[in-house]
Structure 1
Amino acid sequence: MSTSYYQYQPTGALPVNVPGKQPQQQARHNRTSSGYSQYSVSPPERPESVSTSGAGLYSSASSQYAGSEYDSSSGGATSVDLLDYMNDRLSQAYNPVPLDRNMVKQAQMSGELNAKNRELLALQAQARARLAKTRANFSEGMKAARDVQRDLEWTQKKVQALNGRAAQKYPEQYRAARERYPAADDY
């Protein structure tokens, strides 16, 4: 059984393919024997003002053509593939531009987040390097402070030892110098 197609193009709508049927009995149809007698006519498109929600679309469409020349029981009309019809209507009603814009925004935000994440990782590595350098400087400073303290203690012991020997060897001069220049302990 060969299937031929008639392409109906309403004004302002995309084409819808409607499969045609071969006439079951040629004697039953009282049409002229032109080349177009095997094609049936698809129902007209519904106006855009008709609501597409609910079952009203299907019930009104089926009741609108009941008993007319499109009645399928008369054998003159072809059945319209409802899935193809709904796909075509959905492709006309669906606008992918906002979705595309949102996907672009999401990709841009993802890229910005990745860049910020890499920047954060670089800053963390830089902070770790600075912390390690600061710890090394601190430990070096602490070592220098201990060396200075040790040197000061050694110097203080030497000064005390020299003062003790000077007080024993030259007691008169030591006392006079001490009165003239008192030690820091005496303040």
Structure 2
Amino acid sequence: MSTHAFYPTATLPIAMPQKPGYYPNYPTAAHNPYSRVSVSPPEAPESVTTSGVASYEPSATSSSYAGSASEYESTGTTTGIDLMEYMGDRMQGAFDSMPLDRSLAKQAQTSGELNAKHRELMELQALAQQRLAGARMNFADGMRTAKEVQKDLQWTQKRVDALNDRAARKYPKEYRSAQRKYPTPVDY
């Protein structure tokens, strides 16, 4: 196997602006890192594979990587090969989809459970709001009833006080005797 080196020419393929101090001045083009050009190796035939992975072994007729574009086009190695299909086949062979399928199934299951819990939570929230509305109505009814009872008790107390005053004026002796026997309860 022979090794060949590629030495770039002194001219650049693109005209680069030369500002003073911007690009360093190299003594030769061989030392200039901006003048190197990378060239990819030719493709290996599909028949040369080891354990499903394509490998490239240069043949005796291929003496170097530095060839012209017309040489690569004339060999016809890329004709008839669909690059997307080739890469798709390679990915299918190298990629195991089982863990991805399992994780997608688990994600779908978890999403379904989460949606079910969300629906259940919404139903419970609606039920709680209905119960709260019922409790508010009951509380309002109770407050109205308590105010009515308080008004009735105040009216009754006034009537009792009026009767006691009239009895104390009309029958003072009997009233004092009844007062000693049945004292007035103390309000707390």
Q: TM-score range by the shorter chain?
A: 0.5 to 0.7
- Give the CA deviation at 1:148: 0.7
Which residue pairs with 1:43 in the alignment? Answer: 47
Structure-1 separation of matches of 2:110 and 2:58: 52
For 1:66, what is the secondary structure of its paired residue?
coil
C-alpha root-mean-square deviation of aligned residues, in Å?
A: 2.9
- What residue number does 1:103 align with? 104
Runs of 4+ more than 4 Å apart: none
Task: Check if 1:67 corresponds to 2:71.
Answer: no
Shift of 1:96: 1.1
Q: 5+ unaligned residues in a row in structure 2: which ranges?
A: 1-44, 63-70
Measured in 2, the distance between the counterparts of 1:166 and 1:175 equals 10
Which residue number corresponds to residue 153 of structure 2?
Answer: 152
Query: Unaligned regions of 5+ residues in structure 1, if any?
Result: 1-40, 51-56
Return the offset for 1:136: 0.5
Q: Distance in 2 between matches of 1:165 and 1:140?
A: 38
The 1-side partners of 2:144 and 2:82 are apart by: 88
Matches within 5 A, 1:34-183: 42-47=46-51, 61=56, 64-67=57-60, 79=77, 81=81, 83=83, 84-183=85-184
Identical-pair percentage: 49
In structure 2, relative to structure 1, the CA distance for the partners of 1:65 and 1:124 (3 Å cut) is same
Structure 2 SS opposite 1:123: helix
1:24 corresponds in structure 2 to none
SS class of match (1:132): helix
How many residue pairs are counted as aligned between the two chains?
131
8 Å CA contact retained: 1:166, 1:174: yes
TM-score after normalising by structure 1: 0.61
